[in-house]
Amino acid sequence: MIDRRSTLRLLAAGTAALAVPALRAQGQPPMLKQVTVVVGFPAGGATDIVARLVAEGMRGRYAETAIVENRPGGSGRVAAQYVKNGPADGSLMLFTPAFPLAIFPHIYKSLPYDPLQDFVPVATTGKSPMGLSVGPGVPASVRTLQDFIAWTKQNPDRATFGAPLGGGQHFAGVMLAERAGIPLRMVPYKGGAPSVTDVLGGHIASVITPLAEVLPHVRDGKLRLLATTSATRTRFTPEVPTLREAGFDVVFQDWSGLVAPARTPRELVARANAVVAETLRSAPVAATLEKTGVDVDLNSPQDFANIYRAAWERYRDVVKKTGFTADE
């Protein structure tokens, strides 16, 4: 979790320079009165922070006002269902990581939405690799992944990791445990922010979460980042090895982005995509995302649709290999 003070600083830095371009847009054709960007996780996490940057960028460009509405529950399912059932007029969008749409169809027997039929991809925003971090619940002598693996074997009752149920973080932990042969047990959370709170407090041993949610605490020395889930070392933490580098083929680095209810007019989808791209290309927002450990990744709606489908198919295979199913 990024604390409230850090969140406010990041948002202020990232949105201050957006005011002037927004005023210049007043001469353009009439825009929507309001757009609501729904987030399926608690405020303060990486998804929430990027969603607020995006919403602020849409203010005065796409709609006169833009708000972020947090609807946590079901690891993103509540928010997805809410947006699916909302108006398809461009006024309601879901900002989400990949897993509620790309993984959940393969682990739940039934979902209140169909990811491939009920939404239209609007815009990707970025990719954030995940990392395995430990906190005060693990001895200070544990400084590397190999140290942690040895510690879990000696302390199976304390070997836990926090992650949203059914997310990429969950599967990264399950696959690491299986391939390293360690008794690493998952503790489910509604989002990354509360899991980071608990690892900081020593209530769980470790956490697997996007780097954006732990980098400030790693830099402050409150958490120790042992490995990342990217294919190669990330530029944000070049000193930290990947799980693949350590001998475990566990790679997870997914998109986050905006989707809208199906049948949202294509011209509004294209307009929103252009506004999001303009926002993320702005120097202050790009600098803010850099600080949070997010790689900007912009795509057209059609390219996003292809990425969206590819992620759905990839996780179908990952889930099948693990044999995991979620309780209703």
What pLDDT is stored for residue 193 in this prediction?
86
| Tokens read off for 27 | 């001469």
- Model pLDDT for residues 76-118, shown as the tens digit of each residue: 999 999 999 999 999 999 999 999 999 999 999 899 999 999 9
Average pLDDT of span 118-144: 95
Give residue 197's pLDDT band: very low, low, confident or very high (50, 70, 90): very high
CATH classification of 130-228 is 2.40.37.10, yes or no? no
Domain range 4-128+254-322, CATH architecture:
3-Layer(aba) Sandwich (3.40)
The model carries a pTM of: 0.78
Q: Are 204 and 173 in contact (CB under 8 A)?
A: no
User: Range(s) for CATH 3.40.190.10 in the chain?
Assistant: 130-228
DSSP per residue over 145-180, as a string?
HHHHHHHHHH-TTT-EEEEETTSHHHHHHHHHHHHH
Confidence tier at 328 by pLDDT (50, 70, 90): low
Q: Is the pLDDT of residue 32 over 90?
A: yes
Q: Which residue from 286, 262, 240, 207 is spatially nearest to 10, judged by alpha carbons?
A: 286
The Cα–Cα gap between 80 and 39 comes to 9
Please report, rounded to a whole number, the percentage of residues in the chain having pLDDT higher than 70.
Answer: 90
Mean pLDDT to the nearest integer, 34-44: 94
Residue 114: the pLDDT is 97
For residue 185, the cross-strand partners are 160
**For the chain, where do the domains classified as CATH 3.40.190.150 start and end?**
4-128+254-322
| Structural tokens at position 95 | 């900002």
DSSP character for 25?
A: G
Does the pLDDT of residue 217 top 60, yes or no?
yes
pLDDT value of position 293: 79
pLDDT over 80 at 18, yes or no: no
Q: For residue 20, what pLDDT is reported?
A: 39
